[in-house]
């Protein structure tokens, strides 16, 4: 049985741990609210833009713009969104594993798969697996902005137009609720045909002869890259909201566990203390007994 001093030390350590996890939970909850708000604000915009793209793509053939061009998928760019910090449950490991599984499954069918990663956790995972990593963005997550997302978007679009890649995929955690996230693997490029966009909740009735101003080519030229920027921005917001949700849940569970543990070792402490008192009492009474005789 551990000594009283040891148990006391343990109780203090569990208590201070619980304090930290409780604080982390509260911080994650506050950040989650902010991230969720921004996500909800962005959704209608992303949806309307999707409607426009659906109509455009429907009325254009794949030769109308470089970003609509379907090429046989030989070189793939995989953009993976993770977080900079851990202690968020299975948030990072789920998305890392999904990316890794996709790469293992498709590496025989592709000449080259380049990995670009947002967040330190994805970098660490693939570095430990000795997988070659293209670019790592570690400055994005502290403050997710449309400007920064557009920079990433522009790099991706430029690489696709230069035919460095034949397809661009985005792997990230989609925000469902504070308790649940789901892994998404979205095809960013080439731009999808109308049907799939509509399946995601678009509302357009596709019409035959739309008027374009200044011209269809110019509208395509501006809207297609813009939609990719918004798509990346949205995925980043989804990922941040998911991260905060996952951390909140994980820290809540940790705080609960600490409470249970504390109850158990407090009981152990009291038992040990009582045992010592009993022993002492026995010693005193037996000592007194022997003096009588």
Partner 1 sequence: MHIEIVTPIGVKYSGTARGVIVPGALGDMGILPGHQPLLAALRTGACTVDVEGHDQVVLLVDGGYVHVTEGQKVVITTELCETAQDIDVEAARSALESASAVLAQAREDVSTATWTLKKRAVDLATTRIRVGSTKGG
Which parts of this chain interact with partner 1 (CB under 8 A)?
Answer: 38, 41-42, 44-45, 48-49, 51-52, 55-56, 146, 204-205, 207, 209-214, 218-219, 222-223, 230, 233
Q: Closest approach of Cβ 168 to partner 1, in Å?
A: 22
Q: Which is nearer to partner 1, 194 or 258 (CB)?
A: 194
Contact 152, 175 (CB under 8 A): no
Q: Give the pairing of strands 167-175 and 181-189.
A: antiparallel
Q: Which is nearer to partner 1, 136 or 237 (CB)?
A: 237
Q: Closest approach of Cβ 237 to partner 1, in Å?
A: 10
Q: Tell me which long-range contacts 174-182 makes (C-beta under 8 A, separation of at least 24).
A: 174/238, 174/242, 175/36, 175/39, 175/238, 175/239, 175/241, 175/242, 175/245, 177/245, 178/32, 178/245, 178/248, 178/249, 179/245, 179/249, 180/245, 181/91, 181/94, 181/242, 181/245, 181/246
Residues 34, 39: Cα–Cα separation, whole Å? 9
Q: Which is nearer to partner 1, 199 or 211 (CB)?
A: 211
Q: Which is nearer to partner 1, 96 or 239 (CB)?
A: 239
Q: Closest approach of Cβ 212 to partner 1, in Å?
A: 5
Cα atoms in the Cβ-side hemisphere of radius 13 Å centred on 204: 22
Helix, coil or strand: residue 78: strand
Q: Which is nearer to partner 1, 145 or 278 (CB)?
A: 145
Q: Which is nearer to partner 1, 142 or 205 (CB)?
A: 205
Residues 79, 67: Cα–Cα separation, whole Å? 17
Contact 113, 103 (CB under 8 A): yes
Q: Closest approach of Cβ 215 to partner 1, in Å?
A: 10
Q: Closest approach of Cβ 108 to partner 1, in Å?
A: 40
Q: Closest approach of Cβ 126 to partner 1, in Å?
A: 31
Q: Which is nearer to partner 1, 12 or 45 (CB)?
A: 45
Give residues with Cβ within 8 angstroms of 195, minimum separation 6: none
Q: Closest approach of Cβ 38 to partner 1, in Å?
A: 8
């Amino acid at each position: 049985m551990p000594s009283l001093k040891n148990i006391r030390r343990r109780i203090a350590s569990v208590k201070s741990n619980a304090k930290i996890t409780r604080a982390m939970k509260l911080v994650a909850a506050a950040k989650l609210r902010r991230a969720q708000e921004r996500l909800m604000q962005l959704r209608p915009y992303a949806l309307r833009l999707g409607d426009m793209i659906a109509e455009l793509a429907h009325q254009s053939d794949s030769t109308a713009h470089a970003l609509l061009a379907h090429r046989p998928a030989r070189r793939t760019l995989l953009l993976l969104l993770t977080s900079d910090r851990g202690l968020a449950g299975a948030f990072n490991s789920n998305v890392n594993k999904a990316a890794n599984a996709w790469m293992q499954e498709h590496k025989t069918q592709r000449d080259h798969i380049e990995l670009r990663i947002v967040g330190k956790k994805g970098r660490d995972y693939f570095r430990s697996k000795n997988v070659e990593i293209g670019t790592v963005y570690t400055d994005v997550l502290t403050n997710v902005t449309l400007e920064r997302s557009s920079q990433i978007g522009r790099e991706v679009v430029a690489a696709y137009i230069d035919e460095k890649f034949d397809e661009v995929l985005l792997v990230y955690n989609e925000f469902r609720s504070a308790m649940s996230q789901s892994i998404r693997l979205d095809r960013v490029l080439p731009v999808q045909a109308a049907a799939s966009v509509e399946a995601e909740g678009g509302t357009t009735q596709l019409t035959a002869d739309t008027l374009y101003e200044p011209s269809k080519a110019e509208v395509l030229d501006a809207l297609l890259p813009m939609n990719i920027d918004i798509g990346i921005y949205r995925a980043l917001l989804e990922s941040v909201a998911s991260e905060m949700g996952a951390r909140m849940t994980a820290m809540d569970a940790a705080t609960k566990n600490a409470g249970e543990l504390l109850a158990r070792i407090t009981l152990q402490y009291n038992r040990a203390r009582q045992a010592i008192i009993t022993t002492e009492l026995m010693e005193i009474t037996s000592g007194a007994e022997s003096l009588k005789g």
